[in-house]
Structure 1
């Protein structure tokens, strides 16, 4: 797959490396292709830096992993997203998000041409994207959204990133629930003293 990664910090960087390692072509969409956060990613095969609009134009899938407060600005910088899948890996933190929205995915949908928007890769820390394995057990990822093709793509990319499974949580009406689930992980990791090295796995019988 050709994937544009918008937001080259911890989350975007970890996923870019994982996906490049699986043979996907990664295009980092940045304002300055020489001086940008995460430019060490260019040392990896299959990872290149382009302007944001160029990265989007050449890609079928767009990962958005910028600070939630910058959601609308980032989406408007994408250019024409008709026919493209947008994967939203963001969460509103401490009420710092797009004005007028309870979650970042709805803000994306309101400001872009595509309706193929799904939320995924937002429910755990970047450390769990860099290393998905706990004692030989792969932790799980989750996805939601109305777009069937978006969820299929995100699910495959979750597997390619090393997650054991990726569970479908539901449609667009679950965007807020997914952000609340992220807060559950943040609460345990940061506020309840469990630390970042915790992850989730769904058991069934």
Structure 2
């Protein structure tokens, strides 16, 4: 699968590495292909860099992992996204997000021409994406969005990133809930001054 990564910081960089190592073709969408954060990602033979619109055009899946206030600007910069799946990893934190929107996924839907927007990889720290293993278990991940095809693809990509299970919590109406769940993880990490924990669903 060809995946565009927009935002090559901690989360985007970690997923780019995991997916490239799993055999996917990664296109980093950057403003300046000669100078950007995460240039070391190009050492992987399955990874290349292009401008943001070129990366989006060349890919089947677009992952956005930029700061939440940039959601509108980034979404508008993608160009024609018809038929493409957009994965939103962003969160509005302490009121800092896209102007006029309560969450980043709604902003993406309003500023692109795809309906296949899935929110995922936003409820844990990048350290847990880099290393999904705790003892003899691996972390769980969560998805939401109206796109059944988008969610099917994201579940596969979550497994390729080393996640144990990826649970579907609902449609677009759960975007806000998912960001609140992310804030729960962030709050615990800040309160305990420790990022080395993750959420796991236990079943009887």
TM range (shorter): over 0.9
List alignment gaps of at least 5 residues for structure 1: none
Residue 178 of structure 1 aligns with which residue?
Answer: 178
In the alignment, the residues of structure 1 paired with residue 31 and residue 136 of structure 2 have an alpha-carbon distance, to the nearest angstrom, of: 39
Deviations along 1:20-75, one digit per CA (max 9) or x if unpaired, are 00000000000111100111100112010011111111100000000000000000
SS at match of 1:170: coil
1:140-155 paired onto structure 2 within 5 Å: 140-155=140-155
SS at match of 1:15: helix
* Higher mean C-alpha deviation, range 81-90 or range 194-203: 194-203
Residue 130 of structure 1 aligns with which residue?
Answer: 130
Residue 193 of structure 1 aligns with which residue?
Answer: 192
In the alignment, the residues of structure 2 paired with residue 203 and residue 186 of structure 1 have an alpha-carbon distance, to the nearest angstrom, of: 21
Residue 202 of structure 2 aligns with which residue?
Answer: 203
Superposition CA RMSD, Å: 0.6
SS at match of 2:5: strand
1:12-91 paired onto structure 2 within 5 Å: 12-91=12-91
Paired residue total: 204
TM-score by length of 1: 0.98
In the alignment, the residues of structure 1 paired with residue 83 and residue 24 of structure 2 have an alpha-carbon distance, to the nearest angstrom, of: 19
In the alignment, the residues of structure 2 paired with residue 25 and residue 179 of structure 1 have an alpha-carbon distance, to the nearest angstrom, of: 29
Deviations along 1:106-165, one digit per CA (max 9) or x if unpaired, are 000000000000100000000000000001210100000000011011111000000001
In the alignment, the residues of structure 2 paired with residue 172 and residue 161 of structure 1 have an alpha-carbon distance, to the nearest angstrom, of: 24
